[in-house]
Structure formats: structure tokens, C-alpha cells
């Protein structure tokens, strides 16, 4: 698989001893069932009789994330006009980093995400741009953008207005109690993204932190792919948030991961063709 932009530890999909189903099993145990790479390797040997190292499991996850990410980032989510933003912290080589998330508060899909080593306005701007580019026509003042009281969000909105002519207001829900009319009206939006952060943290804890910034970004992007396209949600009657006909035809979860990789490959090839033309 000769695709540009892959991380240094990525591997190709020309299997010698293993096969694509094994890779799908690795992703299912590691992402869906929240097992660490060592636990995933142990489960594959004890349950399926497949001997694989935890390093290979990590390389499979890294490569799959790099290939799936363009599809996830360029999918047409048809977002609503109510977005919610928040940030949470992770560890990369023992140093605190931050994960920025912007989600559709109504449809619950994750529209923008970034990993940064600081809590500055820069990564906040990138996350908001990533989310806003999902709109075919930006709603401007009709957009409700809900965040906490952190000052980076109003500063980022000013930059978006200057550079991209995205004219919208940031509504900040401050504190834990509804002491004002704004908090009373939009508390539910803030709670939606906070629940999302707790869901992410339950998957992150098994990693004991990431080994590099690239690994952290690809780890988060792999989880976003699972959350948006594979995870059953009670909000959607225990179906994925974004249902794809190709995934519905897959018989099991390893096959669905293989389909996502295929869709990611097609997205990358289309991007290369458009760039060349």
C-alpha cells in the first residue's frame, strides 16, 4: 500500500503469516472492547489460537487509523446548528497533553478533534475549523456554539471570523449549577460533550498514556471512527450514529473494520486524483 502521509511505524497490508481478518480482530478487541495491546495479543492467542505480538497489534492500529482518518474527516455528517466543544487531558510520554473535541449536540457525531501539548488558542482554532468545514453552507448567526468559560473559544471565534468570514457567537456555560438564564438553557448541551469525554476516557485509560504525539492523534482518530460509525448508541436506538449500507452488509465487527479501511483507501485515492488534476 503505497500511500503518502503514513506514520513511520505503519505497515503494509500484504500479509505473510496473518490475514485481514486477524487485523479486524485486533481492532475489535483493542478499540471496541477497550483492551490494551498486550491484552489483545493474549486474547487472540487464548481464544483464537493466533500468535501475534503486542507490537504488531499496535502497528495494525496505527496503520488502520492513518488510512481510516481521511474518510472520517471528510464524511458528510450533515451537522445541525447546535455544536458543543470541550477539552480533556491525556498523557504522552508522561507529559500532559490535551484532546480538543467539537461535537454535534443533536446528532452526537464528533465533527472536530485535535491533540496538542498546550491549552493555547491555536489547537482550539484548528478543531473549530475542522468542525465548521463539515457545513456545506455555514449558518453564521444561526449557529449555537456552546463551550465552557475558557477564554480560548471566544478568541478562536474572532480568528474564524477574520480569516474565514464565519460570523457566529460563542455561548459559554460557566460553573456546575444553573445560576443564570444562559446556563439553564444550554446546560444540557454542555453535559452532552462532558459525557462524551467520559466515554473517551474509559477507552484511553487502558493505554496508560501514549508514546508519541502522532500515536496519540492516531489513537484518538481510531476511537472517533469507532464512535461515529461502529458504536451502538442508545440515542439512535442502539444503532451507529452514521449508518452505512456497506457496513450493514458486513457479517461481523472485524469485517466492518475492514470495510472502513477500504473506504479510507478510496477516500485517499480520490484525494490524490483531485490533487493531481
Question: Does position 56 have pLDDT exceeding 80, yes or no?
Answer: yes
Q: How many CB atoms lie within 10 A of CB 242?
A: 19
Q: Please identify, among 193, 210, 227, the residue that sits at the C-terminal boundary of a domain.
A: 210
Q: Could you tell me if 199 and 102 lie in one domain?
A: yes
As to burial, measured by CB atoms within 10 angstroms (0-12 exposed, 13-18 middle, 19+ buried), residue 276 is exposed
Q: Which of 119, 106, 107, 109 is nearest to 148 (CA)?
A: 119
Q: Could you tell me if 194 and 164 lie in one domain?
A: yes
Q: Could you tell me if 203 and 247 lie in one domain?
A: no
Tens of pLDDT, residue by residue over 76-125, are: 999 999 999 999 998 888 899 999 999 999 999 999 999 999 999 999 99
Let me know if residue 184 belongs to a domain: yes
Tens of pLDDT, residue by residue over 203-229, are: 877 666 677 777 788 889 999 999 999
Let me know if residue 115 belongs to a domain: yes
E strand intervals along the chain:
82-92, 95-104, 110-116, 144-147, 169-172
Q: How far is CA 87 from the centre of its chain?
A: 13
Q: Could you tell me if 108 and 140 lie in one domain?
A: yes
DSSP class of residue 24 equals H
Q: Which domain holds residue 88?
A: 82-210
Q: How far is CA 139 from the centre of its chain?
A: 23
As to burial, measured by CB atoms within 10 angstroms (0-12 exposed, 13-18 middle, 19+ buried), residue 183 is middle
Q: Please state, in angstroms and rounded to a whole number, the distance separating the CA atoms of residues 114 and 124.
A: 8
Q: Could you tell me if 177 and 246 lie in one domain?
A: no
**pLDDT bucket at 39, cuts 50 / 70 / 90:** very high
Question: Does position 138 have pLDDT exceeding 80, yes or no?
Answer: yes
What pLDDT shows up at residue 204?
79
Mean pLDDT, rounded, for 252-262? 95
Q: Could you tell me if 186 and 254 lie in one domain?
A: no
**pLDDT bucket at 7, cuts 50 / 70 / 90:** low
* pTM recorded for the entire structure: 0.91
Let me know if residue 114 belongs to a domain: yes
Element at 216 (helix H, strand E): helix 213-229
Let me know if residue 3 belongs to a domain: no
Q: Could you tell me if 87 and 68 lie in one domain?
A: no
Q: Please state, in angstroms and rounded to a whole number, the distance separating the CA atoms of residues 254 and 232.
A: 15
pLDDT averaged over every residue in the chain: 89
Amino acid at each position: 500500500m503505497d500511500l503518502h502521509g503514513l506514520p513511520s511505524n505503519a505497515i503494509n497490508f500484504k500479509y505473510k503469516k496473518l490475514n485481514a481478518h486477524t487485523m479486524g480482530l485486533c481492532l475489535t478487541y483493542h478499540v471496541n472492547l477497550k483492551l490494551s495491546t498486550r491484552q489483545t495479543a493474549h486474547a487472540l492467542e487464548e481464544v483464537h489460537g493466533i500468535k501475534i505480538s503486542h507490537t504488531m497489534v499496535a502497528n495494525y492500529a496505527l496503520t488502520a487509523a492513518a488510512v481510516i482518518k481521511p474518510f472520517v474527516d471528510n464524511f458528510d455528517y450533515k451537522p445541525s446548528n447546535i455544536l458543543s466543544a470541550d477539552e480533556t487531558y491525556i498523557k504522552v510520554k508522561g507529559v500532559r497533553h490535551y484532546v480538543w473535541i467539537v461535537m454535534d449536540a443533536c446528532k452526537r457525531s464528533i465533527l472536530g478533534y485535535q491533540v496538542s501539548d498546550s491549552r493555547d488558542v491555536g489547537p482550539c482554532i484548528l478543531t473549530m475549523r475542522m468542525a465548521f468545514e463539515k457545513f456545506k453552507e455555514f449558518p453564521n448567526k444561526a449557529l449555537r456554539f456552546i463551550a465552557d468559560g475558557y477564554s480560548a473559544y471566544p478568541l478562536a471565534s474572532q480568528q474564524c471570523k477574520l480569516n474565514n468570514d464565519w460570523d457566529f457567537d460563542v455561548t459559554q456555560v460557566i460553573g456546575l449549577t444553573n445560576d443564570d438564564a444562559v446556563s439553564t438553557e444550554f446546560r444540557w448541551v454542555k453535559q452532552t460533550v462532558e459525557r462524551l469525554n467520559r466515554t473517551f476516557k474509559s477507552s484511553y485509560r487502558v493505554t496508560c498514556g501514549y508514546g508519541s504525539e502522532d500515536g496519540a492523534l492516531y489513537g484518538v482518530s481510531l476511537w472517533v471512527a469507532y464512535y461515529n460509525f461502529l458504536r451502538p448508541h442508545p440515542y439512535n436506538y442502539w444503532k451507529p450514529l452514521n449508518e452505512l449500507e456497506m457496513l450493514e452488509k458486513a457479517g461481523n465487527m472485524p469485517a466492518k473494520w475492514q470495510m472502513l479501511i477500504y473506504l479510507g483507501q478510496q477516500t485517499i485515492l480520490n484525494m490524490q486524483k483531485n490533487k493531481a488534476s
